Structure formats: structure tokens, C-alpha cells
A = this chain, B = another copy of it.
Amino acid sequence: MVGAELDAKPLIEDLYLAYTEILDDGDLRSWPDLFTDDGEYHIVAKENRDRGLPLALMRCESKGMIEDRVNAILQLSMYQPRVLRHLISALHVRPTPPDRGAPRFDVTANYAVFQTLADEETTVLSTGRYLDVVAIEHDTARFRKKVCVYDNPLVPNSLVYPL
């Protein structure tokens, strides 16, 4: 790792901690703050991605769309209580050309999300890979683009929630 990468890595790790904490135990309303103003969020099936198909289960191409998604989730998900739990692998961090002076990094990692529904056993909701671009602005790491590539094409209907 070079200097800039060494300095950025703890900031990037903090971003992934915050991501996990907000989705599993926190207030979803603060989730869009983890994205840059031009931030994007995509959920795509590995099968489609491997074939080069442009299909996506969720595609938010601006921070406004991310905020809209959060509002939709908060209205929809009240009726079915459930707990999600993320495990994310070690992060693979590689520098990528900066954008308007902000250092940027490609960050990849494996994830598993477990789901606990009332009166049911805990199951594996989704496994997959993050293919992200993280920007550092004012000593804070944020997602310029987050792409969740999920392994299982059999997506539960309930998957309106971020992975």
C-alpha cells in the first residue's frame, strides 16, 4: 500500500462499520448520508452481471433516489418485524483516479446477510460481493457508487431493503 491508501483505509473501514450499523440496528434515515451528493446505489444479480445484462433489482442513480428508497422502505416495512445482520469480509482497497480533487478508491468485499423473522430460524438471506467506489472528502469516506452483486437469483419478494 502507498501513503494515501494507508491514510484512507481507516476512514474507509469506518464507512463500512457505519453502513452495517445503520442497516442492522440504526436509523435508516441516516443511511443516505453515507453517500456523496452524486452517490449511486445498485443491487444486481451475479448471473445478470456475469452475462453483461443491464438488469438491476434496485437502481438509485442519485442521492435523491436513495432518499426516496428509504422513505418507501420506512412506509412498507412496518408490518413484518425482522432483524438483519451483516457480516462483511476484509476490504480490498485499491486507488482509482481522483474526481474533482477528491481521492477515490475501488473497494471490494464479500458479504453475507442473515435474516431473523418472528418465530422462524435464522437463515441466510443473501450472500454476494460489493463492488464499490469510495470518495474521501473532508476526511470522511462516502460511497460514490455502491454495487451489491448478489449470488442467488431467487430473491425473496421482501428484498426491498438494502443489502
Q: How far is the CA of A16 from the CA of B118 in the complex (A)?
A: 30
The answer to whether A96 has its CB under 8 Å from any CB of chain B is no
- Report chain B residues within 8 Å CB of A108: 21
Distance (whole angstroms) from the CB of A129 to the closest CB of chain B: 7
Contact of A85 (CB < 8 Å), options: B16, B85, B110, B118: B110
Task: Judge if A88 is at the interface, Cβ distance under 8 Å.
Answer: yes
Alpha-carbon separation in the docked complex, A10 to B91 (Å) = 12
Query: How many angstroms from the CA of A85 to the CA of B127 in the assembled complex?
Result: 7
* A–B pairs, 20, beta carbons within 8 Å: A1-B10, A13-B90, A16-B90, A20-B89, A20-B110, A21-B108, A24-B129, A83-B127, A85-B129, A87-B89, A87-B110, A114-B124, A114-B151, A116-B152, A119-B154, A121-B124, A121-B152, A121-B154, A122-B126, A123-B124
Which chain A residues have a beta carbon within 8 Å of chain B's beta carbons? 1, 10, 13, 16-17, 20-21, 24-25, 46, 83, 85-90, 92, 108, 110, 112, 114, 116, 118-124, 126-129, 151-154
